[in-house]
Chains A and B, each alone.
Chain A
Amino acid sequence: MKLWLKQTLITLFVVLLSVSLCLYFFVARETKSLLERACIAGNHETALFAGHLSTLNRESSVSSDSDPVVRQALLQYTFDNHARLLSSGSTAWSLALDGQYLSNASLYHPLSVLPFPEEAESASMILRKSNTPVLISARRLDVLNLTAVIYRSADISDTYAHIDELTRLAQLALLGCLLLCLLLLPAVLRRTLRPLRKLTEITEKIAGGEYDLRSGLQAGDEVGDLSRSFDHMAETVQQKISDLEETSRRRELLLGALTHEMKTPMTAILGFSGSLLSMPLSEKERMEAAYEINEAARRTDRLSRKMMQLISLQENPATLKSTVGAGELLDKVRQTLIPAAEEKKITLKAEAFTDTLTGDPDLLFSLLSNLTDNALKASPESTEITLTARRENSSQILSVADHGSGIPADHLALVTEPFYRVDKARSRKLGGAGLGLSLCQMIARTHDGTLQIESEPDKGTTVSMIWPGEEEAE
């Protein structure tokens, strides 16, 4: 069941039930009130008539101890005169004495219909005669030493017609309420729920791939809150999808580049091993072929090691908080790379301006090794490479500065991409795979830091890893 229909039916039920109960209460109260008012009016008129007749006690010349026949005749005469004046089409008067009519103008035999108890002052009764509602009112009358009863018979069809009219109006009000609810409720509820329909449409479109869509509803009610939450969720989902797509694209590129990089050493291995197997070679040629196969295998090994490190960092980007001796770290890297530096008569200089650094020792060693290795490859003979460790405010900095060929400005943004090389021929000749700086950037990110590269062609390059760390205690 649709929400608007459900809400319409529930509201309709509640409204109709409430209106019905109110109408029942109102009609019942009005019916009782109208009937009571009719009785009171009848009693009042009878009392007035009795009041008029009781003036005989003081105004007539006939005394209370006169002949009863004379008194009865006077009473009857006075009653008839007054009754003629008071009677109308719907009202008739009767006078009874000792259970007998002295005078009767009513068609409804009030004496037999409403027996009057001796001790009663007044009485009234509604009855139906030939489907006509009749109100009989009676009043005791003590006059001229006689005890009589005045009866008033009144047709109260008007009161009943009024009640019927009231009932019909109540029925019409209920029907009107039903029609009004049927017309207004669906329209109002559909309008209220319009934002939800819009949200549904947008959800379907987003599910269909339109991730940049937003509901943009600014209402201050619950639907507005839902809309804002929905937009926030869509924003997060879009960001996640964008990140996943970027990661997927990078992996594809990495895989493509890896396959391409593997081809070169594999071609060398296949070529030289084929020559060894199929061609008659001299001892020197065989040694050369074996050397080339060995070199290609070493390159493949280096490539696979760096790839393993890269993948490991991508999958486990944990931030480590070990304390590392800065001087020891620089010396260790220096000692490892001194043989390579000596080949080119390059001086490796280590300067530690802080005692300790915070981070993963192996990753920091790997970072410095890679940066120094790159610097050695880029530096000409008899130059100097400086490894520095220092702290600035709440940052830690490890940097390697060389006086090599430098990196052109248009390559700076791309050198951290996997397998990217500024000079492809020279890099491959020197055994580089273009993964060193990518690995360094990964290490920097793992430490919540950044890799900063400053370079000027033919003057040198300084690569620094800057990452947060508490200031060293004095």
Chain B
Amino acid sequence: MSRKSILAILVILLLVTASLLGLPRMVRRIEEQTESAPVVVTCTPDPFLSGE
């Protein structure tokens, strides 16, 4: 097998490995971003509190 073939196979393996390992890391990052800050809503009309 030529040097180019080996290089191409290594690139593909690298791509697959990066994709497989990167996916959980990306999910973890989204979760951390969601966890880092509270979501506060102000002045929202609330149908349940307008019973007076």
User: B-contacting residues of A (Cβ < 8 Å)?
Assistant: 1, 5-6, 9, 12-13, 16-17, 20, 23-24, 27-28, 31-32, 35, 39, 43, 47-48, 50-52, 54-55, 57-58, 114, 117, 119-128, 133, 141-142, 160, 163-164, 167, 170-171, 174-175, 178
Contacts and interface: CB of A to CB of B under 8 A. Distances in A.
29 contacts: A9-B5, A9-B8, A16-B15, A16-B16, A20-B19, A23-B19, A23-B23, A27-B27, A31-B27, A31-B30, A39-B39, A50-B48, A50-B49, A51-B47, A51-B49, A114-B38, A117-B40, A119-B42, A122-B40, A122-B41, A122-B44, A123-B41, A124-B38, A125-B37, A133-B31, A141-B49, A164-B27, A167-B27, A170-B23
A234 B17 CA distance: 50
A167 B24 contact: yes
A178 B13 CA distance: 10
Contact of B12 (A1, A13, A119, A126): A13
B33 to A, nearest CB: 9
Interface size of B as a range: 20 to 34
A125 B39 contact: yes
Nearest to A118: B42
A27 B8 contact: no
Contacts of B24: 164, 167, 171
Contacts of A171: 20, 23-24
B43 A121 contact: yes
Given A16-B12, A31-B31, 6 more contacts: A13-B11, A23-B19, A24-B23, A35-B31, A54-B52, A171-B23
Nearest to B49: A54
Contacts of A175: 16, 20
A75 to B, nearest CB: 14
Contacts of A122: 40-41, 44
Given A9-B9, A12-B12, A120-B41, A160 B46 contact: no
A126 B15 CA distance: 33
Contacts of A164: 24, 27
A184 to B, nearest CB: 15
B18 to A, nearest CB: 8
A120 B51 contact: no
Given A28-B26, A31-B31, A123-B39, A1 B4 contact: yes
B28 to A, nearest CB: 9
A94 B2 CA distance: 69
Given A20-B19, A57-B51, A58-B52, A160 B31 contact: yes
